[in-house]
Chains A and B, each alone.
Chain A
Amino acid sequence: MAEIVAKINPTKAVNRSEALAPLWNWVGVLPFFIFIFVFLILPSTNLFVGAFQDRNGNFTLANVSVILDPYVLKSYSISLQISVITSVLGGVMGFFVAYAITIGKAPAWMRTILMSFSGLAANFGGVPLAFAFIATLGHTGFLTAILRNICFPAAGGSQTCPFDIYQAGFNLYSVTGLTLAYLYFQFPLMVLTITPALVGLKREWQEASENLGGSSAQYWWNVALPILWPSILGSAILLFASAFGAYATAQALTGGSIYLVTILIGQQIRGDVLNNPNEGYALALGMVVIMAVCIVGYSILQRRTVRWLKS
């Protein structure tokens, strides 16, 4: 009986020797926490402390109260919206691509290229990425030109060229364009992080499901997705944070006309015009708080989906 309880609730002490375990357990993660403290927390104290200081180092709440300004709230909202949209779209696309290169048995050469290129693409961003899209889909982009030149003879002897995307209303320098650019690094990130989980799906499970008469869709809905769900959530949070903290791509492509929080922070900390770094620190602190809340929510959600899984 004790063994069964131990298996279900492995961290609850079942006898006295295991009651000492919890404190000893924290020693194992001590190297990690020391490394983090020395190389992440210590250098970042300026951010956490500077948010509450003014230029001369005196304590003030003025910078933090900027967060309540309507245009700042609007910028947080825009950042959150873009992050959610790109992480959902990128997550779905990345999931299917990861499926293609693991279970889906796409040709081997495709798999190798996609896997290694995902590593490269997951880290794209900033001016090179923006320029790649400008050179492709901008007013003078090569793809725009190709599409514009697909012409058919029309009535009356003239030509009609129906594929001019800018005539049709497309604009690269908009939220649509920014989403396209963000997807370039979002979906490879999903591919890379969800592939280990897809590889871990045992073939026997699908065979068992088919033996019991289940269709492929039923297998996915009832067996595979519930197992994969915690990993999918984990990847989604990573994609979300990656988009939330992105700055250079939006700046390069839209020049600040899409007013993300990160662009606001950049204006204060790095800009040549406004110079109130403490306000920038306060805004960044706001981002940290939002992210922490999201992670807590994600952890609760995850614990519920993991409840019935071993470990």
Chain B
Amino acid sequence: MSKYVRSLLFGLIAMSFVLTACGTTATATQAPATTSVMPADTAAPAMPAATTAPAAMADWSKATSLADGGGMDALVAAAQKEGNLTVITLPRNWCDYGDMMDNFSKKYNIKIQDVNPDGGSADEVQAIKDNQQNKGPQAPDVIDVGPAYGPLASGQNPSGPNLLAPYKVATWDTIKGSKDDTGLYYIDYSGVLAFEVNTTVVKDVPKTWSDLMKPEYKGQIALPGDPRASNEAAQTVYAAAVNNGGTLDNIQPGLDFFKKLNAEGNLLPLIADSGPIAKGETPVSIHWNYLALADQQTLNGNPSIQVVYPTGTAWGGYYYQAISAFAPHPAAARLWEEYLYSDEGQNTLIKGFCTPARMADMLSRNVVPDAAKAALPPADMLASATIPNPSQLTTARAAVKAQWDSVVGLDIKSGQ
């Protein structure tokens, strides 16, 4: 072999050794954490053990409640035997899911993999679909999806195959809000839209939707996404509609509002992520209140953020929890749901500034810490918040898809 090829191979092997040596110290100090970067080594030993535990696993994958499977203790035992849980698209800062996962992991000694923490509901449904035969750590056990995706994943609307397993948690009756009768999907938390204002840059904080039109906010207002791709952004357009003369059945005024905002030069096409917000590039943006409050907490004054609930009609939004019908860890999945809907789980959601589904029940039994209660928006605002039903959402969505390009679309020929 030529000298050159030999030296190249030597160099590559040497680099591999150096990198391996560098890494051994790191792996030695790695704590068994619930981060997604830990390879699910325990998934492998679980496979040969399957021959001794098929009875327990099969039971729980068909269980529709605690009673079906033999009670909480049996569930915990079965889940611990599975040893793993795969969740999907749960950012750590979203409703404090980070703490939720860490606490669950510590309490029951179950490792959690979080696949695709930065994705959308469509990814979650597609992941269930394509992982049907997969018993590895890539297949999601539980999902947390937007309002359109509960009916979609269950095949109810639009019609299609059912990907979910029905299950009613022990506290089912105290869950207030939208939930499927057979337990295929159920509301977990809700919030309202608010303005997230960088008060280091913006001194005069906007208080209403029409304030946004003021010339002093030129080039300062941004949406949380593309309304054709991001649920949060689409809801923003809808909220603007309702606050500018539209109704739940008519989103047109919202589209007109943003068209005018864009024509005035107030609207930036940029997506308002935490980077641009912190930089000051998008000082005024519209987000779910829990995300804005979490941002405020993380940034900790650098820059200082103020969360403003715009006067007018408050706009509410919620998400669904569901268990995959093909979950490789069915007992762990059900234990997760039980935990999430327990007082401890619901209080974790409150810590993340989300309003949990069992809020009313928890308030009536006085189990919410006062400090946490104070951080949430006033109860009457949440109660009166407008929430569209699925068919209204569908119509609105079609309008956004058809018209958004004419609202903000840039034409190359315009020389922009």
Contacts and interface: CB of A to CB of B under 8 A. Distances in A.
**Contact between A and B in the complex (any CB pair below 8 Å):** yes
A251 B161 CA distance: 32
Contacts of A258: 409-410
Given A140-B281, A270-B122, A255 B160 contact: no
B146 A171 contact: no
Contact of A173 (B125, B152, B159, B270): B270
Nearest to B406: A71
A257 B234 contact: no
A55 interface: yes
A246 interface: no
B244 interface: no
A272 B279 contact: no
A91 interface: no
Contacts of A272: 120-122, 146, 148-149, 229-232, 234
Chain B interface residue number, banded: 35 or more
B225 A255 contact: yes
Contact of A255 (B121, B158, B201, B269): B269
Interface stretch (B172-180, B358-366, B379-387, B397-405): B397-405
A171 B159 contact: no
Nearest to A82: B412
Of listed B222, B269, B276, B405, residue having the most chain A CB within 10 A: B269
Contacts of A256: 226, 228-229, 269, 404, 408
Interface in A240-277: 251-259, 263, 266-267, 269-275, 277
B230 A271 contact: yes
Given A71-B405, A271-B120, A274-B401, A254 B410 contact: yes
B69 interface: no
Given A255-B226, A271-B228, A275-B149, A131 B397 contact: no
Contact of B416 (A138, A175, A271): A175
B126 interface: yes
Contacts of B160: 55-56
Interface string A103-133: 0000000000000000000000001000100
A273 B230 contact: yes
Interface in A48-105: 55-56, 71, 78, 81-82
B320 to A, nearest CB: 13
Contacts of A55: 158-160
Contacts of B146: 272
Contacts of A236: none
A254 to B, nearest CB: 5
Nearest to A276: B158
B43 interface: no
A55 B122 CA distance: 13
Nearest to A166: B219
B227 interface: yes
Contacts of B227: 273
Given A173-B270, A258-B410, A277 B122 contact: yes
Nearest to B262: A257
A134 B225 contact: no
Contacts of A131: 275-276
B384 to A, nearest CB: 25
Given A269-B122, A275-B148, A134 B230 contact: no
Q: Is the interface of B mostly helix, strand, loop or mixed?
A: mixed
Contacts of B136: none
B375 to A, nearest CB: 26
A267 B228 contact: yes
B268 A173 contact: yes
B145 to A, nearest CB: 9
Contacts of B271: 251-252, 255
Nearest to B126: A277
B56 to A, nearest CB: 34
Interface in A124-168: 127, 131, 134-135, 138-140, 166
A254 B234 contact: no
Contact of B279 (A140, A270, A271): A140
B119 interface: yes
A87 to B, nearest CB: 15
B115 interface: no
Contacts of B275: 127, 131, 134
Contacts of B123: 270
Contact of B122 (A56, A71, A275): A275
Interface in A171-185: 171, 173-176
Nearest to A269: B122
B211 interface: no
A174 B280 contact: no
Contacts of A140: 201, 279-281
Contacts of A173: 268-270
B281 A139 contact: yes
Contacts of A171: 416
Could you say which of B223, B229, B271 has the most chain A C-beta atoms within 10 Å of its C-beta? B229
A93 B72 CA distance: 67
A255 B401 contact: no
A78 B397 contact: no
A271 B231 CA distance: 8
B273 interface: yes
Contact of B231 (A127, A259, A273): A273
B279 A257 contact: no
Given A174-B416, A272-B230, A275-B149, A134 B270 contact: yes
B377 to A, nearest CB: 23
A274 B158 CA distance: 12
Given A139-B219, A140-B280, A254-B270, 16 more contacts: A71-B405, A81-B412, A127-B273, A134-B275, A135-B279, A175-B410, A251-B271, A254-B410, A255-B271, A256-B408, A258-B410, A270-B120, A272-B229, A273-B148, A273-B231, A277-B122
5 contacts: A127-B275, A138-B279, A173-B270, A254-B269, A255-B269
3 nearest CB pairs, A to B: A256-B226, A271-B229, A272-B231
